Amino acid sequence: NPWYGGGGLFPQFYDHSCPKAKEIVQSIVAQAVARETRMAASLVRLHFHDCFVKGCDASVLLDNSTTIVSEKDSNPNKNSIRGFEVVDQIKAALEATCPGTVSCADILALAARDSTILVGGPYWDVPLGRRDSLGASIQGSNNGIPAPNNTLPTIITKFKRLGLNVVDVVALSGGHTIGLSRCTSFRQRLYNQSGNGLADNTLDVSYAAQLRQGCPRSGGDNNLFPLDVVTSTKFDNYYFKNILAGRGLLSSDEVLLTKSAETAALVKAYADDVHLFFQHFAQSMVNMGNIMPLTGSKGEIRKNCRRLNNFH
């Protein structure tokens, strides 16, 4: 059935219960991205870090409380993940228009799509109807979200566990065509990639020298660098062209080219054909958004994305 995604979600879910839902999300995301372009990247990543932990259920949005250990303090998220204030603003507007109707998990999926379009990326219909979790998993966040120094087999395994495939790995890594990374996420490549005191030899020499300027051996952990050194505010295929030129920022970006013929072929195909990348990215975002949604009477529709309705 073409109307339904893998998880029983469908794009028309709010057409009767909250017909303005999509435009409300879009207009607040547009304001936020106009204020700060990076917010588009941060909102795309927020959906990813939600879906990879217990599925797309807004678990990532819960704050610490007596019953919740927040995913916000996990290794991948701490001092890194952002966009929560924008989600709060969207939720407040939706509660004012259609109280108790639109889930925080669906807000994340819509905001990721709208963000992508606003910086020049592809459109896709977002399957909807997710409900919000009654818990969070900091352990799931620490273990389930790939780390930048993971090997390619480990990264692929972390995707496959969730029903995603190698095309999804490479296409979704293309999300790094926008946004920023902290020095701490790639420092090892600049100084001691293989424990021999040498820089990663796959790094372009002048790019590595440029990175060392702002990312010293010690200190500057939170200094920020574009994930796409050519067009970090534009959703395009420079991320893949950069990898081919030894200018991928993270080890997890570079290994797509050097550790598997299958992923390398996709990197080259996307570098050659932006339309193919856009088509695959859109499909893979739908695939990611279908990971283990709560539907029917499972979970709840939170009134405030940061806490359970029955909070203490």
Cβ of residue 56: shortest distance to Ca ion, in angstroms? Answer: 6
Q: Which residues contact 94 (CB under 8 A, 6 or more apart)?
A: 18, 21, 24, 25, 101, 102, 107
* Stretch touching ligand HEM by CB under 6 A, among 23-31, 172-180, 211-219, 272-280: 172-180
Q: Is 15 annotated as a binding residue?
A: no
Size of the site for ligand HEM (CB under 6 A): 26
Cβ of residue 252: shortest distance to Ca ion, in angstroms? Answer: 17
- Phi then psi for residue 156, to 5 deg, are -60, -40
Q: Is 202 annotated as a binding residue?
A: no
Instruction: For 139-162, give one letter per residue: b (16+ CB within 10 A) or e.
Output: ebbbebbbbbebebeebbebbeeb
Q: Pick the closest to residue 58 from 296, 282, 304, 297 (CA basis).
A: 304
The 185-204 contact track toward ligand HEM, x by CB under 6 A, reads x-------------------
Binding of ligand HEM at residue 42 (CB under 6 A)? yes
Q: Give the one entry of Ca ion, ligand HEM, none that residue 237 binds, where binding means its C-beta sits below a cut-off of 5 to 8 angstroms depending on kind.
A: none
Q: Is 86 annotated as a binding residue?
A: no
Q: Which residues contact 68 (CB under 8 A, 6 or more apart)?
A: 62, 135, 136, 307, 308
Cβ of residue 224: shortest distance to ligand HEM, in angstroms? Answer: 8
Binding of ligand HEM at residue 181 (CB under 6 A)? yes
Q: Is 71 annotated as a binding residue?
A: yes
Active-site residue, 49 included: yes
Q: Tokens for 250, please give them.
A: 């993270």
Binding of Ca ion at residue 277 (CB under 5 A)? no
Residue 306 burial (CB count, 10 A)? 20
Which of 61, 136, 172, 282 binds ligand HEM (CB under 6 A)? It is 172
Specify the DSSP element, H or E, that contains 226: strand 224-226
Q: Pick the closest to residue 90 from 11, 151, 33 (CA basis).
A: 33
Cβ of residue 61: shortest distance to Ca ion, in angstroms? Answer: 9
Q: Is 221 annotated as a binding residue?
A: no
Which residues in this chain contact ligand HEM in the complex, by CB under 6 A? 38, 41-42, 44-45, 48, 80, 82, 146-148, 155, 169, 172-173, 175-176, 178-182, 185, 227, 250, 252
